[in-house]
Amino acid sequence: MEFKSPLSQRIIISFVLLTTIVSGLFSFGIMAAIDIVKRDLVTAELNRKFPNILVDYKQGHIPDLDIGTQFYSGTEDLPYYLRDLEPGFYEVKDAKSSFHVMMRKDKERPFYLVQEQPSVSKHENLLEFTVIAGFFLCVATSLVLGIMMVRRIIAPVQRLTQQVHNREQLLLDAPPISTDYTNDEVGRLAQAFDRTLSMLQESLQRESMFTSDVSHELRTPLMVIKSSCDLLIEKNQLDDYARQRIDIISKAAGEIQELVDTFLTLARGKETEQNNATLTSIIDGNLREWQNQAAGKGLSFTLQDHTVASGEQAALFPVPMVRTVLNNLVRNAIHHTAEGGISLEVRSTGFTLCDTGPGISTSEKGSIFKPFFRGQSGNRQGLGLGLSIVHRICQKERWTVAVSDNQPNGCCFTVTFKA
C-alpha cells in the first residue's frame, strides 16, 4: 500500500504507534502481574488461616477472625454470592463491596472463609489508574519527542530540497551540494543530485552553445543572400519574372532570419530586440502566400478582419513571434484539410483559425501541443513540432492558445493576446 502523507508525518505516526504498542503491552503485563500476585498472596493468607479457624470451630470455640473476615459453616443463612461455589478461591462482589472467598469441604460439609477487601480494592484501583495514566503519558511524551526528533531528522532533507529547488544551482560555477552533508543516506542523495545537476549543466551548456553558434553562423549567409538579392533587383537587366523570383528569395531569407531570432529567443528565455507591427499588417504580408498554398490543394482561404470595424487603436506585436505562430497554424490547417477551406478571423484581442479537416479527437486534445506528437489518425507526415512551437511562443509571450471543434467538421485554434 502506498502512503501519500508527508514523510515527517509518517515518522511521527510510526514512532507514536510503536510507543503505544510497547507501552500498552507493558501496562497490560503489569496489570496481569498485579492480579496474579494479589491472587497468590490472598490465597496463601487464607490457606494459612483456614486450618486454625476450622480447628476452633470443631472444638466449639468462636474462631479468632480479623476485622472484615467472616466464617460460614454449612449452607444455611449463606449470602447469595456464596451459593453454588465449588471448593477453591474466588473473588465475588455484592452491591456494596467485594470479597475474597476460600471454600473448603470437610466430610461433605462446606466451610466458607470470607474476607472483605474494600481497602485492598481501593489501593488496587489506584494502582490501575496509575498504570493507565502512565500509559497515556508515555503516548503523549512519544508524540512530543517524535515531533522534536523529526524536526532534527528531516532538517537535512528540507535543506537539500531547498538547495535543489534553487535555480542558481544550474549555474556552472555553483558549488557542489554534497559538501554540506556527511557521508550518510542524505549525503549520498546529495551526491546523486550533484551528478544529475552536473549532467544537466553540461546539457544546457551544449544547447546554449549550439543555439548561439547556429544563429551566429546563419546570420552571415542570410545577409549575403538578402544583400545579393537586393543588388540584383536594383539592376534594370532583369525581366519581371526574374525580379519576382528574386524578391521571393529575398523575402524567404528575411523570414529565415526572423525564425532564427525567434528560436534563439525561445532557447535563451530572454527578451531580444524584435520588430513590432500591427496584427493586420503582419497578416497582409503573408496572406497572398497562404492563399496560394491553399489554392495548390484546391482549398479556399478567407479572411475576416474585425479590427478596423472595432475602431480601436491597433496594438503592436513582435513580428517574428506572431508570424511564426500564424505560419505554423496555417501550414498545419492546410496540411490536414483535404477539401473545403480555411478561415481566419482577426480581432483586436487575437485571432481564430478554422479548417474543415478531420478534426481532433477529445482524447488527443490534451497532447497536441507536446513535442513530436502527430496523432493517431489522418495524415501523419511531419515531425509533430509545429503546434509545440506555437505553444512555447504563446507561453513566453503570455498569450493563450486553445483548440475547439469546428462544426460540422474540422477544428479551430484560438490565440488570445495578453491584456
pLDDT in tens, 79-111: 877 888 888 888 887 777 778 888 888 878 888
DSSP H or E segment with residue 123: helix 118-165
Q: Do 190 and 181 form a contact (C-beta atoms < 8 A)? A: yes
User: Residue 383: what pLDDT?
Assistant: 62
The closest alpha carbon to 405, from 339, 346, 359, belongs to 359
Amino acid making up residue 402: A
Other beta carbons within 10 Å of 200: 12
Q: Name the 3-class secondary structure at 99.
A: strand
DSSP assigned state of 314: P
Residue ranges and CATH numbers for the domains of the chain are 7-142 (no CATH), 185-268 (1.20.58.970), 276-416 (3.30.565.10)
pLDDT digits (tens, 9 = 90+) for 236-283: 777 778 878 888 888 778 777 777 777 777 666 656 667 888 999 999
Which set of grid coordinates corresponds to residue 265?
529567443
Which set of grid coordinates corresponds to residue 248?
521571393
Q: Name the 3-class secondary structure at 301.
A: strand
Rounded Cα distance between 338 and 136, Å, is 77
pLDDT digits (tens, 9 = 90+) for 312-346: 667 888 888 898 899 999 999 998 898 999 999 99
How far the first Cα of the chain sits from its last, in Å, is 48
Which set of grid coordinates corresponds to residue 52?
486454625
pTM of the model: 0.51
C-alpha count within 13 angstroms, C-beta hemisphere, residue 299:
26
Rounded Cα distance between 241 and 227, Å, is 19
pLDDT at 219 over 90: no
Residue with more model confidence, 31 or 383: 31
Return all residues near 357 (Cβ < 8 A) that are at least 6 apart. 333, 336, 337, 338, 340, 378, 409, 410, 411
Reported as a pLDDT band with limits 50, 70 and 90, residue 396 is confident
Residue 241 to residues 247, 291, 295: CA-CA distances in angstroms? 10, 20, 21
Rounded Cα distance between 72 and 53, Å, is 11
The closest alpha carbon to 286, from 316, 248, 260, belongs to 248
User: Residue 326: what pLDDT?
Assistant: 93
